[in-house]
Amino acid sequence: MSPSLAAEPAGRAHEVVTPEGVPLRLEVAAAGDRVGALLLDLLFILLLTAGLLLPLVALAMVSVVGVDLVLAAAVLAVFLVRTFYFVWFELAWQGQTPGKRRLGIRAVDAQGGPLSAEAILARNLTRELELFLPMIALFAPGAAFPGAPGWLALLSLGWMLAFGFLPLFNRDRLRVGDLVAGTVVIRAPAAVLLEDLSIRARAAHEFTEAQLDVYGVFELQVLEGVLRGAGQPGHDEAVRTVAEKIREKLGVEGAAGDDQAFLEAFYAALRGRLEKRLLFGRRRRSKHDRL
């Protein structure tokens, strides 16, 4: 398999160009992931609304407040939570809601720019027309439209299906909110942290505090210069010479071919030791300073 093919996403790819002119290929979120994220978010909305209404329900049970007040508060709470839940989380979490985060997807600008607040508002307010109003008309037509005819429920069902299946008929799985706001929902790439080289090096070479106190900041800078000279003429000889001198000074033995790893480990340990001392106001400029 060629490197170019191996680097492509496994699913549908959406290519954007960043403001710096760098093309990026992003994996479009699968329809199943989007549905799963929505169902999770609806569950969270239900739980949040229930948590807000429980105190009022408890007061109504002991006749402190009337049932009408509880119903009015319930309608208001449902409207506020469902309206601002998606907007607040996508603003705070850069295109993610709890459901999207759990499924590993996020909304981004389709052109590669920053995800603006206007786009987030647009893509989420259209959800009222796509989902919530048809749901109300389907399950409680009298609440939304008093005296609504019976065929309204059938119309609402067709409305929901049309908008619900729209993402299946376009390449980037865009719903109406994405088309209006200019966004696309992608699979967030998993962050894979590379192994810390200094930790790996120190695992094979341990130094005592007395050994680390032999050198100061000046020697650390010189050692850094040697390590940064990889690929330059004479680098291997410089590494071998410096490693021999440090081992002789510290009184340790080394294995053949271990000079580079030894110096990297010693550099990491010495830097950590000097930084720790600096936190306590003690700075050793060179090996000639005495603390």
Q: How confident is the model at residue 194 (pLDDT cuts 50, 70, 90)?
A: very low
Residue 257 has a pLDDT of 66
Residue 89 has a pLDDT of 94
224 Cβ contact list (under 8 Å, min separation 6): 267
Ramachandran bin of 234, using left for φ above 0, alpha for ψ from -120 to 50, beta for the remaining angles: left
Tell which wins on pLDDT, 218 or 180: 180
pLDDT digits (tens, 9 = 90+) for 228-278: 777 677 778 888 888 888 888 888 877 656 788 888 888 888 887 776 665
Contact 28, 34 (CB under 8 A): no
pLDDT digits (tens, 9 = 90+) for 65-123: 677 777 777 778 888 888 889 999 999 988 899 999 999 999 988 887 778 899 999 99
Q: How confident is the model at residue 283 (pLDDT cuts 50, 70, 90)?
A: very low
Residue 98 has a pLDDT of 95
Q: How confident is the model at residue 153 (pLDDT cuts 50, 70, 90)?
A: low
Amino acid at 218: F
Furthest-apart CA pair in the chain: how many Å? 95
Between the ranges 40-44, 81-85, 173-177, where is the mean pLDDT highest? 40-44
Residue 44 has a pLDDT of 94
Residue 86 has a pLDDT of 93
Residue 5 has a pLDDT of 35
Distance in angstroms between the alpha carbons of the first and the last residue of the chain: 60
Residue 17 has a pLDDT of 66
Its pTM stands at: 0.57
State how far the alpha carbon of 167 is from the alpha carbons of 81, 122, 173, 197, 200, in Å: 25, 17, 4, 45, 47
Q: How confident is the model at residue 40 (pLDDT cuts 50, 70, 90)?
A: very high
Residue 99 has a pLDDT of 94
Q: How confident is the model at residue 56 (pLDDT cuts 50, 70, 90)?
A: confident
Q: SS3 for 107?
A: strand
139 by Cβ neighbours in 10 Å (0-12 / 13-18 / 19+) ranks as: exposed
What is the DSSP pairing of strand 13-17 with strand 183-187?
Answer: unpaired
Q: Give domain limits for the chain.
A: 3-187, 197-279
Residue 223 has a pLDDT of 80
Tokens of 97: 């809601």
Q: How confident is the model at residue 187 (pLDDT cuts 50, 70, 90)?
A: confident
List, in sequence order, the alpha helices (H) in the chain: 3-7, 31-61, 67-92, 98-103, 117-127, 133-139, 141-144, 151-165, 176-181, 197-204, 209-212, 217-227, 235-250, 259-279
Residue 195 has a pLDDT of 45
24 Cβ contact list (under 8 Å, min separation 6): 15, 16, 17, 18, 112
